[in-house]
Amino acid sequence: MAKTFDYDLFVIGGGSGGVRAARVAAQAGASVALAEESRYGGTCVIRGCVPKKLMVFASEYPGYVEDAQAFGWKVEAGSFDWPAFHDKMHGELDRLEGVYRKILSSNGVETFDSRARVKDPHTVELADGGTKSAKHILVATGGWPVRPDLPGAEHALTSNDVFHLKELPKSILVVGGGYIACEFAGILNGLGVEVTQFYRGAQILRGFDSEARGLISEEMIQRGVDLHLGTNILEMAETEDGFRVKASNGTERTFGQVMFATGRSPNTGNMGLEDAGVKLGRRGEILVDEYSQTNVPSIYAIGDVTDRVNLTPVAIREGMAFVETVFKGNPTPVDHDLIPTAIFTQPEFGTVGLSEEAAREQEPIDVYCTSFRPMQEAFAGRADRVLMKLVVAKESRRVLGCHIVAPGAGEMIQLAGIAVKMGATKEDFDRTVAVHPTMAEEIVTMAEPIRSA
């Protein structure tokens, strides 16, 4: 007699990937349950993309006011009311969490507001000690920011904590050089906080195109971020005035707050995974195959907990591919190639495909690139520059990478990403008539390469 289970699928984690997988599986006729120990919506909705983008919007208004004055408007910026913005932002997050809960309930997914862990290949144990059985278990518990192991680090903020500040500090030290560190350095600088940023590496945004990284770094400094490269924090201690920080460059300074954005780790601690036989990687990530299946056939994992490509839309696509594979009889590997990405630094960065450095390691290339002051910024008297860059294979002429540093770069790269994903050549770009006057027209008007490699 076939073994019966409480559910066809039990999802652990109520973030974007887990909720999407649960909903689509339920719509396909599966009996589904989901457990979430914190808030529905996960990192993206509650403590990541959504509140961060709202803060990006808020931080850009001083620049809009300056531009308005340059364009003839008699306007003045008042002071920024953080408590009013903070309350409205959290009201929006509450609304979105309600949407996520409704999505699950309206599709017949049973939910448990509880921590859950894997007991064995077909059993999930809830925090109250109760157990539920399932034919398939999907782990979608995401990642969590980590603090470095150094004296006083327990006093510092992480990206999770910034959204809950009761008031903005007068000054802050942001430690890190990845996209989270750089985004928050720009945000807080725009909101009027005196921002210092330490990064131990030679240039911020490691792994991205070098030319784009360089321009973003220069523009951040020009806009007021006190960026120190090749610099790390050695220790910190709480004082009456804030936090005293000793740096690797020999300096000691006091800041109102210190924020670490020095990495995230997969949420696999005390999950029972290893006891159930699931293999984990060096950083605690769940090891999966191209179908998101672990070495235990009944257990799958998607999203940041697998540490593949840690982006919300990727987790959602992994969840969809999982349902296609397991519940619709259509084995669907996850496509992690040529994913367009936006980094909401100031200036904004949109990128898809290979950096110039990675491409030239692969094959001979031509590089088309231009950097200029856009019309709006030039008229306003600002020195801000933008960058448009195409990395092209010499032999096939296929566009291997597109990199944009400019206001609205995220919007532009979404559309450019379609062309790059389709395998467009430089000549395909050239045949496209320019939309004038726009910044993006430069993508289709660069006639000659500036260098080959």
Candidate list 136, 155, 228, 436, residue with the active-site label: 436
Q: How far apart are CA 405 and CA 300, in angstroms?
A: 37
Annotation says 436 is catalytic: yes
Catalytic (active-site) positions:
436
